Each structure stands twice: as C-alpha cells, then as structure tokens.
Amino acid sequence: MNLFHGGRLAAMPPKLLNEDGDLFVYRPLAFVSEADCEAFAQAMNYPIIPCDLCGSQEGLQRAQVKKLLDDWEARTPGRRQIMFRSLMNVRPSHLADPSLFDFTGLMRGMPDQS
C-alpha cells in the first residue's frame, strides 16, 4: 500500500515500535502466508470473522492491490514470498533515497557501500 499509494517504500515489520516510542506492535504470524493461515483455520474449524476495520471491505484500495497481487501470483507463483524476502535484503545504494546513501559523494573506484 505504501509503494502504490503513499509514494514510499515501507512495510510493517514483525516487531514495530510506535512513533511515540512507548508501545510495541507484534505480528507473530508475519512470516506465515495468508493462504496458510486460512487453510489452518479451516482445518481447525476456526470461524472466520470478517473485519470491517482493517481495510477488507470491497472496493477499497487494499482490496484492489490484493487482487493485483493475486493475479500476479497466479501467473508467477512465489511472487509474494520474493517480495516479502526483498524487505529483508535491502541495498540502500540501489535505491534513490539520498538520506540512505550519499550519491553526491559517490566517486568511481569506491566500493559499494550498501
């Protein structure tokens, strides 16, 4: 959502400290796919309780991006895992954020500083 609508490369990590610095948010299932969670819930006969607070309503941007990713995943299986893994393998020198990498001071013969 950040990439497509916020104009930034960001994601919620498995453990996040809020902006005020006084609260941790934990995502214990961050490394588990939605499909695996759904399959497990069905196997255990857990009820699926719809949430109208988290952006799952029809027609919202989140639903549109999910459909886009679902379509891409259908054509190229494993795409979601590759995208998620990329968040753990960042190369600042290959992004365009000058606060992460000194592009103005870059000179030939310098090793990659990422």
CA dihedral 56, 7, 92, 69 (to 10 degrees): 40
pLDDT for 76: 94
CA dihedral 73, 48, 36, 56 (to 10 degrees): 30
What is the DSSP track for 18-86?
-TTSS-EEE-TTTTS-HHHHHHHHHHTT------TTTT-STTSHHHHHHHHHHHHHHHSTTHHHHHHHH
Mean pLDDT, residues 35-52: 87
Cα–Cα distance for residue pair 12/51, rounded to 1 Å: 19
% of the chain beyond a pLDDT of 90: 36
State the pLDDT confidence band at 27, using cuts at 50, 70 and 90. Answer: very high
Averaged pLDDT score across all residues of the chain = 86
For residue 105, give both structure tokens.
């001071």
Give pLDDT tens digits for 61-108. 888 888 999 999 999 999 999 998 998 898 988 888 899 888 888 888
